[in-house]
Amino acid sequence: MTRKTALYNIIACTAIILAACGCKDTNKPADKPQEDLKAKSMLEGIWIDADEETVVFKIKGDTVYYPDSTSQPVKFQIIQDTMILLGNNASKYPIVRQEAHIFEFKNQSNDIIKLVKSENPYDSLQFVRRSPVTLNQGKTIKADTIVIYGENKYHSYVQVNPTTYKVYRSFYNAEGMEVENIYYDNIIHVSIFKGANRIFSKDFRKADFNKAVPDNMLKQCVLSNIKLTTVGKDGFHYQTQLAIPDSPSSFIVELIISYDGKTDVRLFK
């Protein structure tokens, strides 16, 4: 082998080695933190407040259950000494101490919550699940009203129809943990007749009132009822109630339906 040939071979081998090294993906993302399944399994059972001795939650498998029947069960994970509740919003709670019968974590206010595992078999009775509370008691509500304006007789028909559309309300419990209550929304049908002629017919959803209620508040509301209040020269005036569950707050919106079937909404002052 000549010196020139040997030099070419060395250069070729060097190029192959460099190419192999260059194939390594230096931009490869770091491995995703793994869930701590052992810590998760240790939480199986019913946990009570160490000081108040009240039941806080029950954990079974990968789900947290609350004794309040209107609070929605939520999936959870344990990752890097943090308990993560996977509700509408992911909520993280740093774990301070965990043993077989002791569980301490920091809530959203950075307070340390101290729990102990229950040994009372009667505590399980607090987790007998009931149907979520629905406004209007989940019933179809009908209202027929005959009104006379001028020389004309009108018939207003309103029907509140329960749906399976869920409305979530998040709040913090006594331990500072975010929990969700679930309610069902309604669709409300309104028809207006002049004699035998139908001059208006529509199924109203709460989105129809976004002109009067801010979106961030509207998504928390349940369309509760629509009631006829007056009839005037501009048409039929209805009072629409958009209630926020678990809250004394509500929005009262005036719905005006003209004699030619046009609608307008405005917030009551």
pLDDT tens digits, one per residue of 201-228: 999 999 999 998 888 889 889 999 999 9
Tell whether the torsion through CA atoms of 206, 210, 211 and 215 is positive or negative. Answer: positive
Share of the chain above pLDDT 70, in %: 82
pLDDT at 217: 84
State pTM to two decimals. Answer: 0.56
Q: Which amino acid is at 159?
A: Q
**Band of pLDDT at residue 245, cut at 50, 70 and 90:** confident
Tell whether the torsion through CA atoms of 216, 219, 225 and 228 is positive or negative. Answer: positive
Buried b (16+ CB within 10 A) or exposed e, 45-83: bbbbeeeeeebbbbbeeeebbbbeebbbbbebbbeeeeb
- Round the CA-based radius of gyration of the chain to a whole number and report it: 31
d(CA 231, CA 155): 11
**How far from each other are the two terminal CA atoms of the chain, in whole angstroms?**
99
Instruction: Walk me through the domains of the chain, giving residue ranges and CATH numbers.
Output: 37-127 (2.40.128.540), 135-267 (2.40.128.510)
How many CB atoms neighbour CB 123 within 10 A? 17
Q: Phi and psi dihedrals of 25, rounded to 5?
A: -80, 100
Burial of 114 (0-12, 13-18, 19+ CB in 10 A): middle
Q: Which residue has the higher pLDDT, 130 or 68?
A: 68
Q: Phi and psi dihedrals of 135, rounded to 5?
A: -65, 155
pLDDT digits (tens, 9 = 90+) for 20-42: 444 445 555 567 789 999 999 99
**Band of pLDDT at residue 194, cut at 50, 70 and 90:** very high
